[in-house]
Amino acid sequence: MSSLRPLLHHLNTSDDAVRLADAGGSAFVSQSLRPYLLAGLLDGVDGSAAAGRPAVVVAGDDRQAKELAADLRAWLHPRPVRFCPSRGVAYESHLAPPAHLVGLRVAAMDALVSWDPDADAEPPVVVVSAVALSEKVPDPALRPTSFTLRVRDLVDLDELAQDLVDAGYERVDQVDDRGQFAVRGGILDVYPATEDRAVRVDLFDIEIESLRGFSTFTQRSLDDLTEIEIAPAAELAAEHRADAETATVLDGDERPDIAQLLPVDRFHAFLDLAPQDTVVLLAAEEEVAPALADHWQDVCAAFHDTDAHHLYVAPDPIVATLAQRAHVRLSSISTDHDMEFRAQAADTAARTLKEAEPELEKLVRSGYRTVVAFPRRGDGERSAYNFARLKAEWIVPGDTDLRDRGDTGAERAPTVHFVQARLRDGFVAPGINLAVIPDHRLFRRRKQQREDAARGGGKGIVKRGALRSFADLRTGDIVVHEDHGLARFAGFDTKTVAGVTRDYLELEYAGSDKVFLPVDQLAKISRYVGAGGSHPPLSKLGGKSWETLKSRARRAAQELAGELLNLYAERRRRTGHAFPEDSQWMREFEDKFPWTETADQKDAIEAVKGDMEAPRPMDRLICGDVGYGKTEVALRAAFKCADDGKQVLMLAPTTILAQQHYGSFAERMKDYPFTVAHVSRFRTPAEQKEAIAGFNEGRVDVLIGTHRLLGRDVRGKDLGLLVVDEEQRFGVKQKELLRQLKLKVDVIAMSATPIPRTLQMSLAGLRDITVIETPPEGRRPVKTYVGEYDEELVKQALTREKDRGGQAFFLHNRVETIDETAERLRGLCPGMTFEVAHGQLDEQELERRMVSFLRGEADVLVATSIIESGIDIPQANTLIVERADMFGLSQLYQIRGRVGRSSQRAYAYLLYPAAAALTEEATKRLSALSDYTELGAGFKVAMRDLELRGAGNLLGDEQSGHVAALGFELYMSMLEEAVEAAGGGDPDDAFEPVRLDVSVDAYIPANYIPYEQAKIDVHRRIAGAREVADLGMLQDELADRFGEVPEPLSNLIALQIARVKLGQAGARNVSFRGGLLTVTPIDLEDDQQAQLRERADDVKIEPGRSQVSFRVPTAPAERFPAVLKAADDLLAVTRA
């Protein structure tokens, strides 16, 4: 039983509640009290007519229904509460509803239809929206058959895969979402449509050996399961949906009416399928009829009347049915009701526990049963520990006798009750003397945490190699081999040479030459990125031309390294301001952060604080995807700066972004004696002048604005910190002014998709970089659709977003025709409201329109690319980009980041006029963006953008020729070495795995990892590994994802482990001569030599030649383990 459920019995103290539960009727209820009252009517009130019966609760729209279902689940647990959404796509679109919605609908319908009153299970509660009631539902008999998989079951994997396809599942290479499955060897990954996580089915021959839940984020297993039900991911079986699916590829004029393609005679109204004894409750009666009328108007606009009635139910019959069957009708509009249930919202003004305690004590002493809900018991226990005057007591499941818990006599301290539950809102209800307050309402904060182990987020401070790995390699790419030059990567080829089977990279050179390169040299391969979008001719094998090009480029890199080092040395020579450690104010400010920091955010914050407390100027780049919390890092730094009496200057590339930052900074700092001002064209000239004067005189602590702040009249009295958001958006002259400022103060730059030069500086080690890779909890990838412009698609997308209570962006990037476009959209969607925004509007008018959209007064914002940065509207989750082919890749990525900023699934439609009109470059850009839909893809987009546009003159005109000749990555490698050498270091100090070749089969069998891209990734990870632990984790991951690691792949990993260990021991060269494994250079102290002789029976140590030799067998089967042991022994003594 839920910890909250006992509290429902408080309704027995209300005569009105008892009367309503028994006889039914209509009643007014405060919005905050609605979930509690509904739960009590269903379960808590003695003698309720709803007791022991299945229930349908009707809400206005899908969003309200989803939120209400979550609240009822918290109050009624473990009683099953299901949310039944609408289809998400209209029948007339010929499209099947998304699998995750099908799963919810199937689970809800099955809960109602299959409930057995004679069984022990509690009756289900289904929460449904008005729109879902109006959509007819296929008879459950028309659905694909669900089935259950259990450990030890015998199954044929091919037949199982076909069963999943028939059930509506999509076959993919890697499972990321509900309704998908993937097959790899003897492993099946599937994400059941009705489950909360994906499942990995591991077979031994035809027997299911194990079932494991796994994270789609890390692709790693989590825990063992004994069985899993595979519910259908489609509402119709394959034979019933085939014609409709075929029709989706036809042009609009050629498509038959959908009613002709579906068995509509077996479609039913939702309530007709519910058992007759189902009790119906209207959660918000006033919202049902308008929602039904709006939806029916859209249906009639798309259908002939007869067809509409085949697939939908008109409003009047639904209203009549509800009038007849609804036992309780609740409303939050104060009209003439027999009963009223009033409560106040549970918000308090407290910001800390210290401030909240008096508020709670006041409620307790006023006679309220006061309950605070914490989603995690640990949070509640920590809060209870900090109470000074109050006592905290936990309500445990099943504890129904709470009536004497609120005594406040002298013998007992005032008591607050804690429960473990996740509530969205709380209430203070005088009629029943009950106050229930979620912790995020108590402190005016909303904690948001993530489970690192389950989500697998990594650390945010990355090395250059990690950045470089984002440049994924594909078959057909032009690549650069350090020794042989430019080639075309033709994939992998498994060859047997001299009786040994290995994987080789197939590289095609000029003149039809080919080179088959061992995979252990994959680390020498990089994708070619030149100075432009094209590439020079492939290299010709033999001759000295490639070495000549490399020599010239190396000299140029050495010269450039000197210049770059001089610039950064000047910064480091200057003594910056060393800020003190955190003050009490700083700690209080951090405690008021309305979310819980992700692990990466914490790393970034600590890195910035460490830089600020050091005596040299900070220059740090914070990279993180849109909405990942970069601004909070800047806020902490700004507060630390202002707290020490210094000033902060923050630059944003657009007026809207500057305005948004100003709002955030002003709100967070309002309780402290710091003045925040901003300068933009949203301010009058007089206001701008006053803000700048205040900053120059020291009266303004934080000044936020656009490039206007780089003017000579903005000097600042004591500038300590410069924050630059989206640095790549500033022009050349502005960057030069920024460079001059950077020599004097601490600098934080922030970016979601860093430009190539920014990446290059970080890659070269000349700039500190922190990456925030961890997505906030609940964040889901944006579903990205790339295709030709289709007005029916646009209408469906906009209507679906409105139906689920959200807003949408429509991007039209021509000011001259944007009003005409808005009018066209109004005609397309007559029931929706549109607002237009572009940069040529008067400042006040633009601000008015943006604020109007932010407040939800318009359904769609038709805008130019002015929305690219800074628009933070979590309820806007559909984006349509007209002429997406006209935008750059990074720009499109930023634009797409305007949606998907909440836990709601977001959709982005990147549309173009016709495929024939697309240039090759535009096709590549749009293809790349549809590839990079996963969370945290900003770096991949930046590197892909670098590849598509070319590196250009990012290092200066004089370097572009060398970049063109060698490719970006190889040239950057040379530059790194040159910087290291010019800085006084030894570029050869960094260890590399040694070249080691043992006659043993070492490859990835084709039937183990059948997908080329996955095979490339595994080879890159093996060849690029520099730590034994990384290879061990990789082997565990492979076993988890693909099944038991076959011997050839295990050998491949073991070979790399030996190479790494020998490299870590200091070796550079390994050779086999006359039964000896000779390793050089190895210099051992006397005690190390003695230890090695103890470990290895037949070892020859030659200190004068820095050489160690091990006797190894000549037979390959015996030599391989002997080599691995030699590597272990050598590393053990050198590390001792």
Cα–Cα separations (whole angstroms), residue 928 to 754, 774, 888, 947: 16, 22, 11, 11
Measured from the Cβ of residue 349, the count of other Cβ atoms closer than 10 Å reads 8
Q: What gap in Å lies between CA 83 and CA 244, rounded to an integer?
A: 27
Tell the residue number behind the tokens 């405060």, with chain if given: 30
Q: What is the pLDDT of residue 471?
A: 41
Q: What is the pLDDT of residue 1094?
A: 87
Tell me: do 638 and 716 sit in the same domain: yes
- Domain membership of residue 207 (yes or no) is yes
The enclosing domain of 1080 has a CATH number of 3.90.1150.50
Instruction: Name the strand (E) or helix (H) holding 391.
Output: strand 391-394
Burial of 254 (0-12, 13-18, 19+ CB in 10 A): exposed
Q: Which one, of 609, 520, 445, lies nearest residue 1052 by Cα?
A: 520
Asked whether the beta carbons of 346 and 426 are under 8 A apart, the reply is yes
Tell me: do 735 and 768 sit in the same domain: yes
Total number of domains constituting the chain:
6
316: amino acid identity, one letter: D
Tell me: do 640 and 757 sit in the same domain: yes
Contact residues for 1111 (Cβ-Cβ < 8 A; gap 6+): 1075, 1076, 1077, 1098, 1099, 1100
The enclosing domain of 918 has a CATH number of 3.40.50.300
- Domain membership of residue 135 (yes or no) is yes
Tell me: do 791 and 901 sit in the same domain: yes
- Domain membership of residue 179 (yes or no) is yes
Instruction: Name the strand (E) or helix (H) holding 516.
Output: strand 514-518
Q: How many CA atoms lie within 13 A of 68 on its CB side?
A: 29
Query: Which long-range contacts link 487-492 to residues 24+ away (Cβ below 8 Å)?
Result: 487/515, 487/538, 487/539, 488/538, 489/525, 490/514, 491/1012, 492/519, 492/1004, 492/1012, 492/1015, 492/1016, 492/1019
Q: What is the CA 560 to chain-centroid distance, rounded?
A: 38
Tell me: do 212 and 245 sit in the same domain: no
Q: What is the CA 1135 to chain-centroid distance, rounded?
A: 41
DSSP letter, residue 188: E
Tell me: do 46 and 128 sit in the same domain: yes
Pairing of strands 198-204, 81-84: unpaired
Which two tokens mark 945? 């953008």
- Domain membership of residue 560 (yes or no) is no
Domain boundary among 307, 341, 375: 341
Q: What is the pLDDT of residue 972?
A: 59
Burial of 998 (0-12, 13-18, 19+ CB in 10 A): buried
Beta bridge partners of 161: none
Q: What is the pLDDT of residue 982?
A: 61
* Torsion angle in degrees (nearest 10) through CA of 721, 722, 724, 725: 40
Q: What gap in Å lies between CA 540 and CA 485, rounded to an integer?
A: 8
The enclosing domain of 364 has a CATH number of 3.40.50
- Domain membership of residue 595 (yes or no) is no
Q: What is the pLDDT of residue 189?
A: 95
Q: How many CA atoms lie within 13 A of 615 on its CB side?
A: 3
Which two tokens mark 208? 């299911």
Which two tokens mark 1058? 């030996």
Asked whether the beta carbons of 898 and 907 are under 8 A apart, the reply is no
pTM for this prediction: 0.57
Q: What is the pLDDT of residue 2?
A: 57
Tell me: do 263 and 212 sit in the same domain: no
Q: What gap in Å lies between CA 267 and CA 311, rounded to an integer?
A: 7
Tell the residue number behind the tokens 């299970």, with chain if given: 121
Asked whether the beta carbons of 1048 and 1005 are under 8 A apart, the reply is yes
- Domain membership of residue 295 (yes or no) is yes
The enclosing domain of 126 has a CATH number of 3.40.50.11180
Three-point CA angle 906, 909, 915, nearest 5°:
160
Q: Which one, of 320, 436, 511, 427, lies nearest residue 3 by Cα?
A: 436
Domain boundary among 442, 473, 502: 442
**DSSP assignment string, 657-724:** HHHHHHHHHHHHHTTTT--EEEESTTS-HHHHHHHHHHHHHT--SEEEESGGGGSTT---SSEEEEEE
Domain boundary among 320, 341, 362: 341
- Domain membership of residue 554 (yes or no) is no
Tell me: do 260 and 280 sit in the same domain: yes
Instruction: Name the strand (E) or helix (H) holding 271.
Output: helix 270-273
Which residues constitute the domain of residue 297? Answer: 5-142+238-341
Q: What is the pLDDT of residue 254?
A: 53
Q: What is the pLDDT of residue 9?
A: 87
Tell me: do 267 and 175 sit in the same domain: no
3-class DSSP state of 648: strand
Tell me: do 194 and 261 sit in the same domain: no
Measured from the Cβ of residue 790, the count of other Cβ atoms closer than 10 Å reads 14
Q: What gap in Å lies between CA 872 and CA 809, rounded to an integer?
A: 12
Q: 10-residue block means of pLDDT along the chain (1136 residues)?
A: 78 90 90 93 85 92 90 91 87 74 89 84 93 90 90 94 92 88 91 90 92 86 91 86 58 57 85 90 90 80 66 91 92 79 78 76 88 83 75 68 43 74 88 89 48 32 35 71 84 77 84 82 70 66 78 71 63 78 90 76 90 88 78 95 95 84 91 93 87 95 91 89 81 61 79 55 59 67 79 88 90 94 94 92 83 88 83 85 82 80 79 67 62 50 45 43 56 62 55 72 82 77 85 89 87 87 85 80 87 86 86 78 87 82
Instruction: Name the strand (E) or helix (H) holding 769.
Output: strand 768-772
φ/ψ of 709, rounded to 5, equals: -75, -5
3-class DSSP state of 788: strand
Q: What is the pLDDT of residue 154?
A: 94
Pairing of strands 647-651, 702-705: parallel
Asked whether the beta carbons of 868 and 895 are under 8 A apart, the reply is yes
Tell me: do 126 and 158 sit in the same domain: no
Q: What share of the chain is helix, strand, coil (3-state, %, to 5)?
A: 45, 20, 35
- Domain membership of residue 421 (yes or no) is yes
Query: Which long-range contacts link 244-249 to residues 24+ away (Cβ below 8 Å)?
Result: 244/94, 244/96, 245/94, 245/96, 247/94, 248/94, 248/95
Q: What gap in Å lies between CA 796 and CA 491, rounded to an integer?
A: 42
Cα–Cα separations (whole angstroms), residue 758 to 171, 457, 612, 649, 939: 39, 24, 21, 21, 11
Asked whether the beta carbons of 256 and 304 are under 8 A apart, the reply is no
The enclosing domain of 159 has a CATH number of 3.30.2060.10
Q: What is the pLDDT of residue 383?
A: 77
Q: What is the pLDDT of residue 453?
A: 29
Instruction: Name the strand (E) or helix (H) holding 37.
Output: helix 34-39
Tell me: do 201 and 271 sit in the same domain: no
